């Protein structure tokens, strides 16, 4: 059952999902709230029946593996969930992950990385590099995917891995955070139409996530990096998302660097619209599955 796309902004505004992002104080309060009452990272009890889920730990980090049943999976996807580096993985993420595993017939590894205030860009980038190289040693052709903050983590990892000799990594980026300075001059024109995100809150969280790094470091703001040597990229964005101007800029910069980019831009769509139960979201999920087949 689909939610009409036209009502989604009103639902988001009524739920005040943008409250943590409107001010730096709201962002700080949200970090404290999640520390005091962390959400569960466990998948829903009822995922689709054609996948199995297992979990292991690497130190303090849970690592889930989602595998299709009834067939031999081909290749590996590492999916990095969003949530503003503050919120835990959600049922919407798990639904997409299960669809990728089943319909792309691939194994999906889901790292439950450390959120603020415990994690930061440096430690998470190092962790992602170790994870990719561990998985890649078992099976070549590992793809990276992520949404929102997870898109930032995935693309930053792809750049670091490229510098370590892993060229042409395929990426799927859903409404990624690309420039944590939030300085794109087109953002103020989009802000009135965005029911989800706000500049001041993102900047406040970004300062914490950057840690000891400059916010302009590619491990923090991957759009600042040299994009040569990346593999095919599927980039999904909605025009009613303040991250949309940077997504369009990334597509332009990546193409200029010789990257094969498919930009799927939905007019009137909100942040991470491919995760939402709308017809547009369903069509976008089908494109994601196609891009992640081995």
The residue ranges of every structural domain in the chain are 5-40+60-291
DSSP for 219-287? Answer: TTSGGGS--TT---EEEEEEEESTTHHHHHHHHHHHHHTT--EEEEEEEEEETTGGGSSSHHHHHHHHH
> In angstroms, rounded to a whole number, what is the distance separating the alpha carbons of residues 262 and 254?
10
Residues 6+ apart with CB under 8 A from 222: 152, 155, 156, 158, 159, 176, 178
pLDDT of residue 151: 98
CB atoms within 10 A of CB 212: 8
> Which residues, including other chains, have CB under 8 Å from residue 43's CB and lie 6 or more apart?
53, 64, 66, 94, 98
CA 220 – CA 180 distance, rounded (Å): 7
* Ranges of H-type helices in 147-198: 149-163, 187-190
- Asked if 37 contacts 85 with a C-beta cutoff of 8 angstroms, the reply is no
Residue 70: predicted pLDDT: 86
Chain-centroid distance of CA 93 in Å reads 10
pLDDT of residue 138: 85
Burial per residue of 223-262, b for 16 or more beta-carbon CB atoms within 10 angstroms, e otherwise: bbbebebbbebbbbbbbbbbbbbbbbebbebbeeeebebe
Fold category of 5-40+60-291 in CATH: Rossmann fold (3.40.50)
Q: Give the span between the Cα atoms of 265 and 253, in whole angstroms.
A: 16
- Return the bridge partners of 79, or none: 145
pLDDT of amino acid 167: 93
- Please state, in angstroms and rounded to a whole number, the distance separating the CA atoms of residues 218 and 226: 8
Measured CA to CA, the distance from residue 32 to residue 210 in angstroms comes to 18
Residue-wise pLDDT tens for the chain (294 aa)? 899 999 999 999 999 999 999 999 999 999 999 999 999 999 999 899 999 999 999 888 899 999 999 899 999 999 999 999 999 999 999 999 999 999 999 999 999 999 999 999 999 999 999 999 999 988 878 999 999 999 999 999 999 999 999 999 999 999 999 999 999 999 999 999 999 999 999 999 999 999 999 999 999 999 999 999 999 999 999 999 999 999 999 999 999 999 999 999 999 999 999 999 999 999 999 999 999 997
Length of the chain: 294
Angle at 27 between CA 25 and CA 30, to 5 degrees: 110
**pTM exceeds cut of 0.85:** yes
């Amino acid at each position: 059952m689909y939610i009409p796309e036209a009502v989604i902004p009103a639902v988001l505004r009524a739920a005040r999902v943008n409250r943590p992002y409107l001010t730096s104080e709201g962002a700080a309060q949200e970090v404290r709230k999640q520390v005091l009452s962390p959400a569960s990272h466990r998948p829903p009890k009822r995922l689709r029946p054609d996948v199995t889920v297992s979990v292991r730990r690497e130190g303090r980090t849970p690592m889930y593996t989602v595998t299709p049943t009834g067939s031999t999976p081909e290749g590996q996807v590492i999916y990095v969930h969003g949530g503003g580096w503050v919120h835990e993985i959600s049922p919407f993420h798990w639904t997409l992950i299960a669809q990728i595993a089943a319909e792309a017939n691939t194994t999906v590894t889901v790292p439950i990385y450390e959120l603020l205030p415990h994690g930061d860009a440096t430690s998470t980038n190092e962790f992602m590099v170790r994870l990719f190289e561990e998985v890649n040693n078992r099976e070549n052709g590992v793809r990276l995917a992520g949404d929102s903050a997870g898109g930032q983590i995935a693309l930053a990892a792809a750049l670091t891995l490229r510098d370590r000799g892993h060229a042409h990594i395929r990426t799927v980026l859903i409404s990624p955070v690309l420039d944590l300075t939030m300085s794109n001059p087109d953002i103020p024109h989009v802000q009135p139409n965005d029911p989800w995100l706000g500049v001041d809150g993102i900047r406040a969280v970004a300062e914490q996530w950057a840690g000891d790094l400059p916010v302009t470091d590619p491990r923090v703001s991957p759009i600042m990096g040299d994009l040569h040597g990346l593999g095919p990229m599927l980039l999904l964005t909605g025009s009613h998302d303040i991250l949309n101007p940077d997504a369009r800029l990334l597509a332009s910069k990546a193409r200029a660097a010789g990257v094969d980019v498919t930009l799927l831009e939905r007019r009137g769509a909100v942040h991470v619209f491919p995760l939402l139960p709308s017809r547009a979201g369903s069509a976008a999920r089908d494109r994601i599955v196609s891009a992640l087949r081995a």
